Amino acid sequence: MNALIVESSVEVANQLRRMLDAQPALIKQVNLANSVRDGYLTLKISTPDIVFLSMNLCDGSCMKLLNKYKKYPMEIVFLMEDFANSHEILEEKQLKYLEFPFKKKQINQLLIEIRTKKMATLFSKHLINNEHKSLNKISIKDKDGIRFIEIDQIVHCQADNNYTEIYLENSERIISSKSLKVYEDLLVDHGFFRVHQSHLVDLKRIKKVISTDGLFVKLENDLLLNLARRKKNELLNKLKDSSN
């Protein structure tokens, strides 16, 4: 796992880093940030599994940082120095925290707990993905529950910011709150190819590759979608292989 320490106190940050570095089996990399601004910049370029976050940073509240990354998939561990009144709040909300000076046993137990949770989540996703592949269906959450869609019915998927629009062969459009990357991972083994950063297409639905006035793929329903130039040769090779 990778960790990020966001702490204004050099003493606190260094002690925690030394203790994390002493756990190479659990922690691979530790990055440091000493403010909300530095924490924000570091999160933009790294993907930590755990963020150790001071409750009182030099340039403002830690909540400023959390509000920027509400949906970021990371575990938050609050760091406390003389915040006795915060114990009850954190425990009531079942939030993780460490008290300075830190204790080796407490940190070790915390890291094992987080790693166990992470592995359980990955295993669960693996089972779900494999189940979907074996059933040739994907699940999409809608307002009424969970809907299961036959993969053979999907023509293409289109990115819409952090959402995905899924187009079916009956011209129905379904909106999912998951990103296009999620569907790329689910559908790549079913003959789908990402022809553009915004478009994931079923290869057997492609009727023509057009190179006039730009690059496009023309689907069997005559819809034109952008084709990224760097994807052209790979797409042509895949179409050639699928026709053999």
Fold of 2-129: Rossmann fold (3.40.50)
Q: Let me know the angle formed at the C-alpha of 121 by 115 and 125, rounded to the nearest 5 degrees.
A: 145
* pLDDT reading at 185 higher than 50: yes
* pLDDT reading at 188 higher than 80: yes
- In the predicted model, what is the mean pLDDT of residues 105-126? 75
pLDDT in tens, 51-75: 888 877 766 666 766 766 655 567 8
Strands (E), 137-242: 137-142, 145-150, 154-160, 163-168, 173-176, 192-196, 199-202, 206-210, 216-219, 224-226
Rounded Cα distance between 102 and 12, Å, is 9
Rounded Cα distance between 136 and 138, Å, is 7
What is residue 48's predicted lDDT score, i.e. its pLDDT?
A: 85
What is residue 122's predicted lDDT score, i.e. its pLDDT?
A: 60
What is residue 88's predicted lDDT score, i.e. its pLDDT?
A: 52
What is residue 116's predicted lDDT score, i.e. its pLDDT?
A: 82
In the chain, where the domains are located:
2-129, 140-243
CATH class of 140-243: mainly beta
Burial group, residue 171, by CB count within 10 angstroms (0-12, 13-18, 19+):
exposed
Q: Let me know the angle formed at the C-alpha of 226 by 224 and 230, rounded to the nearest 5 degrees.
A: 145
CB 54 within 8 A of CB 64: no
Q: Rg of the Cα trace of the chain?
A: 23
2-129 and 140-243: identical CATH topology: no
Rounded Cα distance between 85 and 99, Å, is 12
